[in-house]
């Protein structure tokens, strides 16, 4: 496609990484627009007009009851069908941090057998019992079909959450996530090895930081790629010779590129 | 019938909250418990079927992966004691409010929801200890209630903490025809904080025949209504009118007398006025909710710092939370409104390890610390504003009142829809629209209460809990409305509520009418004066012209933000308040804002004489250095910093934690507020109350130098740097309660003199400030006054963020420099404090000399010649060198004999003197000559090298080794104290 892919960046109700997420998509060649959830619910804007849906980080509804739960219900009870058709049209959905929490609780991740309506996994309180802002090393699963991480081997990004511990409902689900390569990114140490806290900042099972559905088009992750789109975002940019661009930008470039090829 | 849905964790799922509560019961309360688990309880006030309750449990309240739920049947089992904590009626219940909206989404019914939490404790405890756990850790009786149940007790009954009121709203006339004692009784009983003279001024106003005649037309008599009296008390409060800073002061020092007509005008404003003639970037100072400076041709920066001390003393979590979300509204309510880009926070507490008995009504400092920390965490993180800079100062006198300074910066286009964004325009006929939250009794008398010491009558209503999400929704909506041109200007509802917000805006148009019965209330039963004065949070007053009203209200509705017309601006020079079409207040605007007389005070300065320490210099200073690194005022605050999101919004450049392991202490913050630009904002602060025990002149000068120095250390420059002054003092007005008022006022005068001298020398004008003058505690014979404290914050511009510098050493072989003169200035130092001394030689600031050096350093940084730079402050050179070394992961070889000194002959003095205007910098050998040629003409010296291992070695004046340690040991000493 010749036009820049259209990206809907969700806002409202306490979402708060919308501006930098919009900026990241635009930097990557997208045409991103911040749209208030109510404007979609009230029909002022339609998901049909976009190729990518991004649910950014933040504190929707203040994390009240549980992170992402109430926003997930807003989708579930108001926009279930439009989200389903967005998925059916083979478009992309990205959830970051609070966005990932929403997707997990809504059931569009992991979306086994294309059933996007049943909650199988969750993101719950960090083992430390605390919100933490901390940069983490991520290893990308080379076998994953995830569109957003194509060509990426590793990432260094910040996590900023109190409820990021990934838990599956049971062992069967846990195994299936691994075996069928739903796991996209995992927390590792500087040498790329699995290690405990603080490298795995929240106690996630199997060090899982992000998963995708079986198509690779729907992806959620706890770390913030939009927070590393400029080299000076890196916590050690004054001491390490960094080149190129921020690690996070590749995630957005991949999404934009894929839409350009596909549509 | 109300129902209870109870939610707990599945077996095998970690209950992190329960575990951290257990840890705190054991560590903080010293009560042995075996296990703590938690259950969340949602009490829903509606008739629901079992089917509906099941739907809510499954789809809303319990996570199917990790949790289980039950309804109308207790989930708790396997415990020895159960404590259930819920809110008192009327206290903000954010989760309850969200639950209500969520239930509406699912079931399409409206039902009030009340949240509570159960703590299931296992352990062999007596009931008294369980009471202690409830009252000293889990609940605050001012805002919460609790029930305790042991295994055998009967089940906890369903309770609905709604506000029940049969009270009919009424307006009373207050009879001021009473004697002096009677006037003061009225002032005290109503928490008006008005003096006798002010009460008499008010009485006289209402006796003026012209006033009587005018008021008669509206059915009012010769006495004020409670609405009028409360409005006047609020408007005239110390909190709002800064009476002490505007007082006429006779200042005496060494037999010489001087008359100071307003500290604010004589020192603070005068400095800004003088600097304003030399620079072109001051946009709006001292006349709006926050100060405004130019960022570039298209954008302005806005900043404000506030304190929320008194509420934080009563409820640390709620007080601090409302402190941060409250100060957010100041830059947001400046001019036409600014987008918020950073928060700062500085706390002053007593030691969290305080062991002595606590006086009545005071909480343990650790509980204050953790409550305040969490309040600011929730306020900042949930608002999506990065907390980029802060510090914590410890002194046991802050037991009397903790200080909670919260600052917020914003950015706004210099022009919005063709109008200068920093100017507030209001015309006769414009409407006052209240947006955001509703009005309750919360926060009533906040302004007047904070104008008094903390005493046994301090009102519980002054305590409230903020709701960051309601505010975030409102801010998102208002920014959208601003850019669409739907309103003209706005201001926040903080201290004094609508009375203050509309009353102050009305000065622009020349009058107002307020319709109290139109204001949306949280619950019925408020008297009109309460509606007017309530400081309920998350509200802005927005000025909308009648032709834009429809569009404004439509957008508000689409964004889920309640907005209501509650008044109108007029040009009739009257503050006119109505309730159900009846006039309840009718005051001259001039009297309301200018009716009170100037205070006259006396200040006498006698420099205190303290014991001069006499002890031998230890031969080896390694242990001393480690002990200083472990001291509360020096040690790592990583525990706090990590829990604040310091990089949301994507523009983080210099974070609070830096270095090889991302854990070194940064001097200042740098952010890029515009993501497509490399222009940056530098934010820093200085605070050093300890020198005030010797002389507050030095204390203030050091705070200002420290703030500027910190900003320069990361690459900021004096070319464009503005300051904000926040004075927190103990009561400086001589009275029976404060016999040493003249001395305390002299301390205030001296701090202001220093502020004038230093800000003019640095060319750093104050653009906004605040004072909080009654930071004392008095109950019975126990009086605790805080040490006089000035927080000086700076905001500056850095042209290219890629030139910013961090404090961690970078490479082995780099040269270590000290910049600035080290003098014999151990008075008030950490080194003396560690030995139990204060001393007499507080550091003095030579600001004019410092300017030259700071400019040279900035030039060297712009040329990329400086690898690392760290400010020397608490703990002096020793701490600065050690921190730079362990943050960078390399040791150092240092020779003290190379350090430029003035009358210093001891190793300990060189290492630990806290002389100001000094830095430790490292430079790579190839840049040595260029760096030195720029620095020449200033006091500086090359004192050592960065090693390629972890040894940190300092040789003394006689070439003997005085410190030898691995940087790992030093770092451990620095990190262990507050590693919670």
The whole-angstrom separation of Cα B708 and Cα B794 is: 7
Distance between CA atoms of B553 and B574, rounded to whole angstroms?
Answer: 27
pLDDT at residue number B454: 59
List, as ranges, residues 170-199 from A with C-beta within 8 Å of B. Answer: none
Give the Å distances, CA to CA, from B113 to A61, B3, B91, B116, B236: 15, 10, 13, 10, 39
What residues in A contact B63, CB-CB < 8 Å? 66, 69, 105, 119, 122, 124
* Closest-approach residue (CA) in chain A for B558: A38
Could you give the 3-state DSSP secondary structure of residue B538?
Answer: coil
The number of angstroms, rounded, from the C-alpha of B152 to the middle of its chain's C-alpha atoms is: 46
Does residue A108 lie within any of the structural domains?
yes
Closest residue, chain B, to A101 (C-alpha): B63
A161 catalytic residue (yes or no) = no
pLDDT of residue B865: 98
> Is the dihedral angle over the CA atoms B217, B220, B222, B228 positive or is it negative?
negative
Q: Do B560 and A19 touch (CB under 8 A)?
A: no
Task: Give the mean model confidence (pLDDT) for residues A148-164.
Answer: 97
Of B95, B468, B642, the CB nearest to A133: B642
For a pLDDT cut of 70, what percent of chain B falls above it? 98
- In whole angstroms, give the CA distance from residue B129 to residue B137: 11
E strand or H helix that includes residue B88: none
Confidence of residue B913 (pLDDT cuts 50, 70, 90): very high
Q: Which of A232, A234, A247, A251 to mutate to test the interface with B (most CBs of B within 10 A)?
A: A232
If DSSP codes are grouped into helix, strand and coil, which group holds residue B158? coil
User: Which A residues in the span 35-74 are in contact with B, Cβ-Cβ below 8 Å?
Assistant: 36, 38-39, 42, 44, 57-59, 61-66, 69-70, 73-74
Got the DSSP string for chain A?
A: --SPPEEEEEE-TTB--HHHHHHHHHHTT-EEEEEEHHHHHTTSS-GGG-SEEEE--B-GGGG-SSTTHHHHHHHHHHTHHHHHHHHHTT-EEEEETHHHHHHHHHT-SS-GGG--SS--EEEE--TTSS-EEEEEEEEE-TT---STTTT--EEEEEEEESS-EEEESSHHHHHHHHHTT-EEEEEE-TTS----TTTSSS--GGGEEEEE-TTS-EEEESS-GGG-SSGGGSTTTTTS---SS-TTHHHHHHHHHHHHHH-
- Is residue B830 helix, strand or coil? helix
Q: State the pLDDT at residue B595.
A: 86
Asked whether residue A1 is domain-assigned, the answer is: no
> Which among A74, A105, A133 has CB closest to B646?
A133
Told to judge if B239 belongs to the known catalytic residues of this protein, a careful annotator would answer yes
pLDDT bracket for residue B453 (50, 70, 90): low
Q: What is the pLDDT of residue B175?
A: 94
DSSP three-state, residue B901: strand
CATH number at residue B135: 3.30.1280.10
H/E segment holding residue B209: helix B209-216
CA separation for the pair B486, B542 (Å, rounded): 10
Mean of pLDDT values over B341-350: 98
User: B675 vs A61: CB contact, 8 Å cut-off?
Assistant: no
Contact call for A134 and B642, based on CB within 8 A: yes
Q: Is A212 a catalytic residue?
A: no
What pLDDT is stored for residue B458 in this prediction? 54
Q: Is A240 on the interface with B (CB under 8 A)?
A: no
| Contact present, B171 and B579 (Cβ < 8 Å) | yes
Residue that wins the pLDDT comparison between B90 and B547: B547
What's the average model confidence in pLDDT over A220-229?
98
A117: nearest CA partner in chain B: B59
Residue B938 neighbours by CB distance under 10 Å: 18
Query: Cα dihedral sign for B872, B875, B876, B878?
Result: negative
pLDDT at B975 over 70: yes
Residue B219, burial from CB neighbour count under 10 angstroms (0-12, 13-18, 19+): exposed
Cβ atoms within 10 Å, residue B595: 18
Tokens of B253: 């020092």
Structure token pair of residue B582: 């009846």
Length of chain A: 263
The whole-angstrom distance between residue B59's C-alpha and the CA centroid of its chain comes to: 38
Which chain A positions have a beta carbon within 8 Å of B16's beta carbon? 125-129
Is B20 contained in some domain?
Answer: yes
pLDDT score for B452: 62
Beta bridge partners of B725: B769, B792
Domain enclosing residue B58, as ranges: 3-150
Among B945, B946, B942, B963, which residue's Cα sits nearest to residue B954? B963
**Chain A positions in Cβ-Cβ contact with residue B328 (cut-off 8 Å):** none
Task: Please give the angle made by the CA atoms of B858, B863 and B866, to the nearest 5 degrees.
Answer: 70
Instruction: Please tell me the distance from the alpha carbon of residue B107 to that of residue B115, in angstroms, as a whole number.
Output: 19
Q: How far apart are CA B974 and CA B978, in angstroms?
A: 9
User: Phi and psi dihedrals of B944, rounded to 5?
Assistant: 165, -165
Mean pLDDT within B3-17 = 95
H/E element, B262: none
Please report the residues numbered 207 through 236 in chain A whose beta carbons come closer than 8 angstroms to any beta carbon of chain B.
226-227, 229-230, 232-233, 235-236
Report the residue from B60, B641, B805 with minimal CB separation from A238.
B805
Residue A80 in contact with partner chain B when CB distance is under 8 A: no
Mean pLDDT (chain A, rounded): 96
Question: What pLDDT sits at residue B441?
Answer: 82
How far away is chain B from the Cα of A144, in angstroms, using its nearest Cα? 24
Decide if A129 is inside a domain. Answer: yes
Please check whether residue A26 touches B, CB under 8 A. no
Which 3 state secondary structure label does DSSP give B976? helix
Which one of A12, A134, A239 has the shortest CB-CB distance to B810? A239
Q: Which two tokens stand for residue A105?
A: 């609780």
Inter-chain touch B804–A238, beta carbons under 8 Å? yes
pLDDT tens, residue by residue, B860-901? 999 999 999 999 999 999 999 999 999 999 999 999 999 999
Which one of B150, B179, B194 terminates a domain? B150
pLDDT of residue B797: 97
Preceding omega of B771 cis (within 30 degrees of 0):
no
> What pLDDT does B669 receive?
98
pLDDT category at B167 given cuts 50, 70, 90 is confident
Pairwise CA distance, residues B957 & B803, whole Å: 36
φ, ψ at B164 (rounded to 5°)? -105, 130
**Terminal CA-CA length for chain A:** 5
Answer for the pair B406, B330: CB distance below 8 angstroms, yes or no. Answer: no
Q: How far is A90 from chain B (nearest CA, A)?
A: 27
Nearest Cα to Cα of residue B398 among B278, B487, B316 = B316
The predicted structure's pLDDT at residue B152: 83
Domain at B883, CATH number: 3.90.650.10
Kindly state whether residue A25 falls inside one of the protein's structural domains: yes
Q: How many angstroms separate the most distant Cα atoms in chain A?
A: 50
Cis omega (within 30 of 0) on the bond before A198?
yes
Q: Which of B382, B384, B660 sits opposite A239 (nearest CB)?
A: B660
Query: Are B908 and B804 in contact, with CB atoms under 8 Å apart?
Result: no
Q: What is the pLDDT of residue B934?
A: 98
Does the beta-carbon distance from B105 to A42 stay under 8 Å? no
For residue A102, give the CATH number of its domain: 3.40.50.880
Catalytic residue of the set A17, A20, A51, A97? A97
**Among B60, B381, B560, beta carbon nearest to A69:** B60
Q: Quick check: A23 and B650 CB within 8 A?
A: yes
Tokens 């369980």 locate to: B130
- Residue B527: CB atoms within 10 A of its CB come to 21
Chain A residue numbers touching B658 (CB-CB < 8 A): 235-236, 238
Q: Residue B730 in 3-state DSSP?
A: coil
Residues in chain B within 8 Å Cβ distance of A96 = none
Please, which pLDDT band fits residue B455 given cuts at 50, 70 and 90? low
B663 close to B979: Cβ distance less than 8 angstroms:
no
How much is the pLDDT for B912? 98
Say what the pLDDT of residue B92 is. 86
Residue A63 belongs to a domain: yes
Mean pLDDT, to the nearest integer, of B495-523? 93
- Per CB-CB distance under 8 Å, the chain A contacts of B381 are 59, 131, 160
Contact call for residues B460 and B142 (beta carbons, < 8 A): yes
Q: How many distinct structural domains can be found in chain A?
A: 1
Does the pLDDT value for residue B165 go beyond 80?
A: no
Question: Domain span at residue A156?
Answer: 6-262
Closest chain A residue to B378, measured at CA: A62
Per the CB < 8 Å rule, is A64 touching B99?
A: yes
pLDDT in tens, B186-207: 998 888 889 999 999 999 999 9
**B426: three-class secondary structure by DSSP:** coil
Chain B neighbors of A17, CB-CB under 8 A: 384, 648-650
Does B59 contact A36 at a Cβ distance shorter than 8 Å?
no
What contacts B254, CB < 8 A, 6 or more positions away? Answer: B605
Residue A124 contacts B where some CB pair is shorter than 8 Å: yes
Distance CA B468, CA A38 (A): 19
Number of domains in chain B: 2
Q: Report the pLDDT averaged over residues A137-158.
A: 98
- Taking residue B925's Cβ as centre, other Cβ atoms within 10 Å add up to 11
Marked catalytic residue, from B239, B422, B576, B593: B239
Cβ contact A131–B672 (<8 Å):
no
Kindly indicate the confidence band of residue B241, based on its pLDDT and cuts at 50, 70 and 90: confident
pLDDT-derived band at B90, boundaries 50, 70, 90: confident
Which of B61, B94, B662 is facing A62, going by the closest CB pair? Answer: B94
Q: How far is B640 from chain A (nearest CA, A)?
A: 10
Contacts of A121 in chain B (CB under 8 A): 65
- Which is the catalytic residue, given B3, B308, B364, B593? B308
Are the C-beta atoms of residues A161 and A202 closer than 8 Å to each other? Answer: yes
CB contact under 8 A, A239 and B808: yes
Determine the distance from the C-alpha atom of residue B139 to the mean position of all C-alpha atoms in its chain, rounded to a whole number.
23
Residue at B429 is within a domain: no
- B657 contacts in A (CB within 8 Å)? 235
Interface pTM (ipTM) of the complex? 0.97
DSSP three-state, residue B703: helix
Q: Render pLDDT for B595-636 as a digit per residue (tens, 0 to 9).
A: 888 999 999 999 999 999 999 999 999 999 999 999 999 999
Nearest beta carbon to residue A58 from set B98, B384, B675:
B384
Q: Does A164 touch chain B (CB under 8 A)?
A: no
């Amino acid at each position: 496609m010749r036009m820049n892919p259209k990206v809907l960046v969700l806002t409202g109700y306490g979402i708060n990484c919308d501006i930098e997420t919009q900026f990241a998509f635009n930097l990557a060649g997208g045409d991103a627009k911040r749209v208030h959830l109510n404007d979609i619910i009230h029909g002022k804007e339609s998901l049909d007009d976009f190729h990518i849906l991004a649910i950014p980080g933040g504190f929707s509804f203040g994390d009240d009851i549980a992170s992402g739960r109430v926003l997930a219900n807003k989708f579930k009870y108001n926009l279930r069908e439009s989200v389903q058709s967005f998925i059916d049209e083979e478009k992309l959905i990205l959830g970051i941090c609070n966005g990932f929490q929403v997707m997990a609780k809504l059931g569009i991740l992991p979306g086994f057998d294309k059933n996007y309506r049943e909650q199988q996994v969750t993101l719950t309180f960090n083992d430390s019992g605390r919100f933490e802002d901390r940069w983490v090393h991520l290893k990308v699963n080379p076998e994953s079909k995830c569109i957003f991480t194509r060509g990426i081997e590793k990432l260094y990004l910040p996590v900023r959450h109190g409820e990021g511990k990934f838990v599956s409902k049971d062992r069967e689900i846990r195994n299936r996530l691994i075996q069928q390569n739903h796991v996209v990114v995992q927390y590792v140490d500087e040498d790329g090895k699995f290690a405990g806290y603080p490298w795995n900042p929240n106690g996630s099972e199997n060090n899982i930081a992000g998963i995708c559905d079986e198509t690779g088009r729907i992806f959620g992750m706890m770390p913030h790629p939009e927070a590393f789109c400029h080299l000076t975002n890196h916590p050690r940019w004054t001491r390490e010779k960094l080149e190129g661009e921020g690690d996070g930008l590749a995630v957005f470039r991949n999404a934009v590129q894929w839409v350009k090829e596909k549509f | 019938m109300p129902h209870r849905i109870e939610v707990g964790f599945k077996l095998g799922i970690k209950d992190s909250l329960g575990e951290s509560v257990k840890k705190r019961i054991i560590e903080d309360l010293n009560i042995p418990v075996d296990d703590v688990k938690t259950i969340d309880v949602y009490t829903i006030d509606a008739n629901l079927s079992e089917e509906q309750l099941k739907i809510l449990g499954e789809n809303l309240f319990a996570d199917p992966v990790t949790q289980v739920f039950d309804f109308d049947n207790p989930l708790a089992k396997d415990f020895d004691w159960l404590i259930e904590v819920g809110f008192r009626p009327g206290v903000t219940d954010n989760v309850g409010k969200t639950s209500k909206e969520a239930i509406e989404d699912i079931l399409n019914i409206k039902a009030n929801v009340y949240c509570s939490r159960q703590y299931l404790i296992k352990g062999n405890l007596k009931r008294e200890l369980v009471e202690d756990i409830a009252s000293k850790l889990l609940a605050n009786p001012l805002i919460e209630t609790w029930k305790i149940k042991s295994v055998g007790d009967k089940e906890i009954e369903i309770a609905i903490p709604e506000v029940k009121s049969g009270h009919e709203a009424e307006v009373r006339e207050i009879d001021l025809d009473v004697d002096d004692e009677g006037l003061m009784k009225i002032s005290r009983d109503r928490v008006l904080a008005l003096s006798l003279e002010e009460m008499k001024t008010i009485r006289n106003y209402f006796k003026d025949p012209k006033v009587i005649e005018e008021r008669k037309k509206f059915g009012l008599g010769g006495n004020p209504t409670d609405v009028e009296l409360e409005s006047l008390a609020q408007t005239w409060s110390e909190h709002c009118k800064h009476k002490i800073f505007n007082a006429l002061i006779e200042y005496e020092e060494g037999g010489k007398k001087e008359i100071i007509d307003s500290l604010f005008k004589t020192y603070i404003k005068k400095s800004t006025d003088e600097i304003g003639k030399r620079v072109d970037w001051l946009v709006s100072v001292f006349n709006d909710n926050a100060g405004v400076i130019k960022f570039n041709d298209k954008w302005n920066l806005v900043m404000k710092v506030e304190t929320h001390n008194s509420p934080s003393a009563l409820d640390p979590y709620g007080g601090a939370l409302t402190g941060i979300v409250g100060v957010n509204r100041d830059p947001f309510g400046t001019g036409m409104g600014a987008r918020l880009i950073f928060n700062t926070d500085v706390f002053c507490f007593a030691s969290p390890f305080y062991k002595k008995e606590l006086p009545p009504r005071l909480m343990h400092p650790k509980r204050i610390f953790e409550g305040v920390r969490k309040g600011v965490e929730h306020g900042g993180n949930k608002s999506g504003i990065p907390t980029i800079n802060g510090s914590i100062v410890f002194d046991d006198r802050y037991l009397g009142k903790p200080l909670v300074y919260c600052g917020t910066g914003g950015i706004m286009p210099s022009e919005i829809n063709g109008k200068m964004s920093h100017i507030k325009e209001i015309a006769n006929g414009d409407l006052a629209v209240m947006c955001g939250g509703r009005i309750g009794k919360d926060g009533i008398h906040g302004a007047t209460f904070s104008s008094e010491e903390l005493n046994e009558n301090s009102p519980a209503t002054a305590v409230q809990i903020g709701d960051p999400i309601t505010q975030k929704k409102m801010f998102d909506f208002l920014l959208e409305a601003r850019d669409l041109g739907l309103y003209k200007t706005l201001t926040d509802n903080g201290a004094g509520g609508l009375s203050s917000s509309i009353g102050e805006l009305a000065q622009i148009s020349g009058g107002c009418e307020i319709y109290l019965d139109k204001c949306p209330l949280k619950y019925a039963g408020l008297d009109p004066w309460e509606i007017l004065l309530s400081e309920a949070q998350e509200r802005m007053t927005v000025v909308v012209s009648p032709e834009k009203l429809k569009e404004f209200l439509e957008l508000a509705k689409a964004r889920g933000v309640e907005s209501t017309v509650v008044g109108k601006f007029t040009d009739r020079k009257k503050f006119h308040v109505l309730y159900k079409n009846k006039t309840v207040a009718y005051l001259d605007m001039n009297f309301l804002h200018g009716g009170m007389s100037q205070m006259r005070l006396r200040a006498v300065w006698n420099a205190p004489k303290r014991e001069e320490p006499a002890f031998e210099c230890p031969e080896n200073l390694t242990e001393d250095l480690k002990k200083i690194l472990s001291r509360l005022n020096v040690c790592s605050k990583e525990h706090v910093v990590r829990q604040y999101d310091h990089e949301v919004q994507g523009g983080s450049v210099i974070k609070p934690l830096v270095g090889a392991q991302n854990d070194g202490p940064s001097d200042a913050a740098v952010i890029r507020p515009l993501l497509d630009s490399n222009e940056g904002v530098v934010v820093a602060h200085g605070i050093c109350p300890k020198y005030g025990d010797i002389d507050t002149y030095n204390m203030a000068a050091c705070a200002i130098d420290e703030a500027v120095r910190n900003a320069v250390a990361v690459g900021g420059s004096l070319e464009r740097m503005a300051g904000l002054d926040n004075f927190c003092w103990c009561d400086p007005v001589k009275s029976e309660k404060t016999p040493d008022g003249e001395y305390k006022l002299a301390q205030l005068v001296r701090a202001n003199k220093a502020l004038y001298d230093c800000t003019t020398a640095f060319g750093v004008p104050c653009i906004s400030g605040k004072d909080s003058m009654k930071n004392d505690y008095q109950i019975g014979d126990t009086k605790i006054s805080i040490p006089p404290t000035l927080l000086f914050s700076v905001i500056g511009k850095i042209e290219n963020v890629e030139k910013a510098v961090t404090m961690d050493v970078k490479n082995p072989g780099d040269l270590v420099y000290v910049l600035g003169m080290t003098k014999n200035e151990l008075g008030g130092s950490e080194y003396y404090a560690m030995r139990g001394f204060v001393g007499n030689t507080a550091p003095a600031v030579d600001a004019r000399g410092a300017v030259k050096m700071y400019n040279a350093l900035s030039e060297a940084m712009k040329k990329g010649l400086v690898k690392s730079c760290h400010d020397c402050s608490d703990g002096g050179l020793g701490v600065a060198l050690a921190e730079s070394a362990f943050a960078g992961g390399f040791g150092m070889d240092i020779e003290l004999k190379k350090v430029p000194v003035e009358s210093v002959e001891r190793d300990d003095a060189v290492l630990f003197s806290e002389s100001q205007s000094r830095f430790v910098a490292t430079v790579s050998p190839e840049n040595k000559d260029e760096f030195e040629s720029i620095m020449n003409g200033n006091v500086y010296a090359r004192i050592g090298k960065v090693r390629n291992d972890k040894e940190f070695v300092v040789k003394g004046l006689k070439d003997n080794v005085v410190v030898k340690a691995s940087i790992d040991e030093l770092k451990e000493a620095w990190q262990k104290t507050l590693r919670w």
